[in-house]
Every structure is written in C-alpha cells, then in structure tokens.
Structure 1
Amino acid sequence: MITEWSAYDMAQRLDDLAEILHACVADGASVGFILPHTQAEAKSFWQGLLAEVDGGARRLYVALDQGQPAGVVTLITAMPGNQPHRGEVSKLLVHPGHRRKGLARQLMHHLEAEARRIGKGLLTLDTRTGDAAEPLYSALGFQTAGVIPGYCLDVHGERYDSTTYMFKRLD
C-alpha cells in the first residue's frame, strides 16, 4: 500500500523514516551521505524536509509492508517559474529487508499518477550510474539524458562515481 504523508505524519514517524534511510546508506545507497552514517543524521535529514512537505514544495509517498513503513520516494514540486510543468523524483529508498517485493515500482507508479494529477508533464531524476535503480527507471520509461562523470563520492568516500540524469514525459 502506498500513501502520501503530511508533515505531521512525518514528524510522528521520523524514527521509521530514519531507519529506512540509515539502512539504505549502510547497504551502499548513493543518496548524499558518507559512511559512517548515524541514525541521528538520518533523522535530521527528514526533519529538514518537514517545512518543504508542509509548504507543498515536496510530497512524500510511503510504501507500507504489513503496515510498517518499508520504502519512500519524494516528488519535488516547487520548480522555477519557467518550469511549472516539471517535477523531480528524489530519494527512492526501500529498506533492504523489504526489497524484491515490487515496492520501488509501486512507489514510482504512485508518484507518476500523482504528478499527472497535479499537472506535471515531465519528471526528472538522477541516479548513480550503474546502480540497481537505473534499470528500474529505464523499465518504467525513463530515458537517459546524459552522464556526468565524477559527480559524487561513493558511500565509502573512496572514489568519485558518475551520475546518470534521466527524464520521462508524462503527457
């Protein structure tokens, strides 16, 4: 089951969100953090998004597995004035203990439907080149716009990984 969480929902379940993020980073996800990564850092990240969600600049969709938060994805809706038709996919995360159940695909389908509903005709995202998420995005109809080499440090802080920018037209 996929549901949209308000800032209030997030505030009530910060520990659950932090656990998903923390577990994904510990498993090697390239989502902006370097190991060692603490639960407190993960919680702080989500706390930092409360105002964006409350103000409507970002939407948070949560996948529940047997009633427990197991995955998340955000849709950034606040875009510059010349890009009102675009949304940005950010932080698609599925807890390692809940993978291989189709939750990432369900989250993305829900996000796309919501993006269409609010008038977004174009989605963009970036993902570490060669990451397990890249074929998922391709299978969902995202096209590669380009690759930027040496974009960010890997989760261990040992090398620079490339990132692949992708897009999907919804109209």
Structure 2
Amino acid sequence: MRYIIEAVANLDAKLLERLTALLADCVNQGASLGFYRPAQTERIVNYWQATSKQLENKDKQLFIAFDEQNNVAGTVQLNLCQKQNGCHRGEVEKLLVDPTFQRRGIATHLMKALEAWAQQHGIQLLYLDTQTGDKSESFYRAREYVLSGTIPSFVTDAQGMLHSTSVYYKELR
C-alpha cells in the first residue's frame, strides 16, 4: 500500500476530527504523548485547536501520512523555535501512527519528510524528548538521533507516578 505524506497548513473540521481520533487511539494504546489514559476527547480537541493556531501563525509544521483511501495513517510535527538565536533548530513532536497502520514504515517516512523540509528551510538541529524506556527510543536511535541525556521525574502517569524523559538530538548537516 502506498502512502502520501503532505505538509498541512490548515485543519478543517473533518481533519480535526480525524486527528483527534488518531491521538486518542495512540494514547489509549499506551503511547506517552502528554495525555493520560483513557484519553479525554475535550483535552485532545483543545490540543489540536491550539496546534491549528500555531500552523496558521507558521510556528509549527504538520506532516500527515494519508493512505490510498485518504485515511490518516500517521502524523508528526515540527515546532519551530521563535527565538532569534534559535531559528536554526526545531523540536520534533507527536510522532503518531494509527495502531492499525503500525509496522509499515510510516513513522520512518514521516520523519524523512520532516527532516527534508527542515533542511530545505535552514533548520540544522532537531531535538525531541520521549519517556525513558519507551519503545520509541530504539526508533529514534535507528534514525541517528543521539541521546543527550535524561531528566528525572519529568512526567507523571495517570496514577501520579513520576517518570524520566530522554532527550535526543540530530544535526542535519
């Protein structure tokens, strides 16, 4: 099956609904994405509405993988640094792949699209964080992201238990 990766600048109501469902599915499957299980739809809708404003302001780039039937298979975001001395860097956020589409290379294609866009727009450094011990760490290492370090007690789970986060970076030279 083929997938098309598109940079999306506007979230209409239908796409907002599809992205809300995708994020909720990923959270409910156990992904550490800033939301507790079970996913609360109102919080996720608020998140996407705020993201929509960032897209309109060009503070963020959103890449979406669509399948041949125009279903949202996955997405990733690049948060652009707004500081004058940081315009060469960007933060990778919310790499999501619909659980029914996982293990098909979609995350890799999304990251390649994000990295290519970043290079074309003068971004030289990407960074991200993920919960320490999460399966995503091996994915990022395979994509040549380097572990910078860990921050203890960075996030909590729904039970209030503290977890560390691992910070990774990649230079795009």
**Superposed counterparts of 1:3-152, under 5 Å:** 3-7=6-10, 9-66=11-68, 67-152=70-155
Say which SS state the counterpart of residue 92 (structure 1) adopts.
Answer: strand
Q: Runs of 4 or more off by more than 3 Å in structure 1?
A: 9-12
TM-superposed CA distance for 1:3, in Å, is 0.5
TM-superposed CA distance for 1:10, in Å, is 4.5
Structure 2 gaps of 5+ residues are: none
TM-superposed CA distance for 1:41, in Å, is 2.3
**TM-score (norm. length: structure 2):** 0.92
Contact 2:27–2:38 under 8 Å retained in 1 = no
- String of CA shifts for 1:43-79, please: whole Å, max 9, x gaps: 2210111111011100000011232111110001133
Q: Distance in 2 between matches of 1:31 and 1:10?
A: 23
Q: Distance in 1 between matches of 2:66 and 2:150?
A: 33
Contact 1:88–1:125 under 8 Å retained in 2 = yes
Say which SS state the counterpart of residue 85 (structure 2) adopts.
Answer: coil
TM-superposed CA distance for 1:4, in Å, is 0.8
Aligned AA for 2:53? Answer: A
Does 2:165 align with 1:166?
no
Residue correspondences, number: 169
Aligned AA for 2:86? Answer: Q
Q: Distance in 1 between matches of 2:14 and 2:57?
A: 17
1:157 is matched with 159
**TM-score (norm. length: structure 1):** 0.93
Contact 1:26–1:37 under 8 Å retained in 2 = yes
Q: Distance in 2 between matches of 1:16 and 1:35?
A: 19
Structure 1 gaps of 5+ residues are: none
Aligned-CA RMSD value: 1.3
